[in-house]
């Protein structure tokens, strides 16, 4: 596998552009799956408290023998733990489960605007960064107005905004907002959760032209847009396939055809209405 490039963050750090997502990876399989990814050259893992597999990620890190400085581990604060004190405690719990003394990136998982706690929660993340428990801090599923509020309250711009983003839901406006504010965009469910999109005739044609698979074409599209991706798989051959995307390039006509696949179809919840309770 060729080297995975990095994306620069607004806090002077950088993040590997490709990682492994572990949502819905069963707890008892996580150490094996993440270990396989490390063997294949992955250095970035995206987990969350709510995935209930942080222990497995930590076990794989310990078993790999790789120094933490060569890895990039993200976890996320669950909605029920929003609020200043609860957020700091939740990060300590995640660090204990991961068996790490810091995470590379800590995210507020959802804004839950109706609950009114994300500004205080963001203040806790700023504190966690000052304390060295999170090297970078960011948000997930935040809308422009949510980001504006936390920046107004603290002056601290999130390093990343992790949002649902795939060819069926391309998030042009939110991407432009992030870019204008120096925020890196991470694409969650980059493969549209492996559904019917992978069988799309246009993607298959583009894949055939490059001698690649539709999954590789989609991941390459994210990378060429400057997005950070972490496709999920528990299958070693697919984990390898998903990383073999740095030895070809989509051309302008490929990119234009993929742009046409945008139907504005969300697969996950709407951040405007998801509530903590
Ligand atoms: P995904 O788009 O990564 O799709 C994963 C599915 O695609 C797999 O279960 C498998 O069925 C299939 N797949 C994977 N590789 C394939 C290949 N090469 N060929 C064919 N099929 C393949 O979906 P996801 O897991 O929802 O998203 C990735 C990661 O994003 C998650 O694991 C998690 O880390 C993150 N995420 C974050 C949020 C959030 O709210 N912040 C929400 C959802 C997901």
Question: By three-state DSSP, how is residue 135 classified?
Answer: strand
β strands within the chain, DSSP E:
6-8, 14-16, 20-21, 44-46, 72-77, 103-108, 134-140, 160-164, 184-188, 228-229
Distance 10 CA to ligand 1 centre (A): 26
Could you give the C-alpha distances from 213 to 5, 216, 258, in angstroms and in order?
A: 21, 5, 14
Q: Which long-range contacts (CB under 8 A, 24 or more apart) does 269-273 make?
A: 269/110, 271/110, 271/111, 271/113, 271/141, 271/142, 271/143, 271/146, 272/113, 272/143, 273/114
As given in the structure block, the two tokens for residue 202 are 């246009």
Centre of ligand 1 to C-alpha 230, Å, is 7
Residue 87 CA, chain-centre distance (Å), reads: 20
Q: How far is CA 28 from CA 51, 238, 272, in A?
A: 12, 19, 34
- The residue whose CA is least distant from atom 27 of ligand 1 is 189
- Tokens 């090297």 belong to 135
Is 51 part of the annotated catalytic residue set? Answer: yes
Indicate the top mutation candidate among 18, 19, 21 to test ligand 1's pocket, ranked by most ligand atoms within 8 A of CB: 21
What residue ranges of the chain have pLDDT lower than 50?
A: none
Query: Quick one: DSSP state of residue 166?
Result: B
Contact 105, 160 (CB under 8 A): yes
Indicate which residue's Cα is closest to atom 4 of ligand 1: 193
The predicted model scores a pTM of 0.98
Nearest CA to ligand 1 atom 25: 232
Distance CA 16, CA 3 (A): 10
Supply the pLDDT for residue 2: 67
What residues are in contact with ligand 1 under a 6 Å CB criterion?
21-23, 46, 109, 140-141, 162, 188-194, 198, 215, 230-233, 238, 241-242, 268
Report which ligand 1 atom has the smallest distance to the Cα of 242.
18
Per-residue pLDDT at 1: 59
pLDDT of residue 3: 87
- Strands (DSSP E) found in 78-144: 103-108, 134-140
Atom 11, ligand 1: residue with shortest CA distance: 194
User: How many Å lie between the centroid of ligand 1 and the Cα of residue 22?
Assistant: 8
**From 42, 51, 106, 177, the catalytic residue:** 51
**Cα–ligand 1 centroid distance for 129 (angstroms):** 28
Q: 187 CA to middle of ligand 1, Å?
A: 10
Which residue has the least CA distance to atom 16 on ligand 1?
Answer: 238
What is the best residue among 1, 192, 193, 228 to mutate for testing ligand 1's pocket, by most ligand atoms within 8 Å of CB?
Answer: 193
């Amino acid at each position: 596998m060729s080297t995975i490039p990095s994306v620069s963050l607004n806090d002077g750090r950088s993040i590997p552009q490709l990682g492994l997502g572990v949502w819905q990876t069963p707890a008892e399989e996580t150490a094996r799956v993440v270990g396989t990814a490390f063997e294949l050259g992955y250095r970035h893992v995206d987990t969350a408290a709510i995935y209930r597999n942080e222990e497995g990620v930590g076990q794989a890190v310990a078993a790999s023998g790789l120094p933490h400085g060569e890895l990039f581990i993200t976890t996320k604060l669950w909605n029920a733990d929003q609020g200043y004190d609860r957020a700091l405690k939740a990060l300590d719990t995640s660090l204990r489960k991961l068996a790490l003394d810091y995470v590379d990136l800590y995210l507020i998982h959802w804004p839950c605007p109706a609950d009114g706690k994300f500004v205080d929660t963001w203040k806790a993340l700023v504190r966690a960064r000052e304390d060295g428990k999170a090297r970078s801090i960011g948000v997930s599923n935040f809308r422009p107005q949510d980001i504006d509020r936390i920046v107004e309250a603290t002056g601290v711009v999130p390093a990343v905004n992790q949002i649902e983003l795939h060819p069926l839901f391309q998030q042009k406006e939110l991407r432009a907002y992030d870019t204008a504010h120096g925020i890196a965009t991470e694409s969650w469910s980059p493969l549209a959760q492996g559904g019917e999109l992978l069988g799309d005739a246009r993607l298959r044609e583009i894949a055939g032209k490059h001698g690649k698979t539709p999954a590789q074409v989609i991941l390459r599209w994210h990378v060429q847009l400057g997005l950070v991706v972490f496709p999920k798989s528990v299958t070693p051959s697919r984990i390898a396939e998903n990383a073999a995307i740095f030895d070809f390039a989509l051309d302008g006509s490929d990119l234009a055809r993929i742009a046409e696949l945008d139907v504005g179809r969300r697969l996950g919840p709407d951040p405007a209405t998801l509530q903590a309770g």
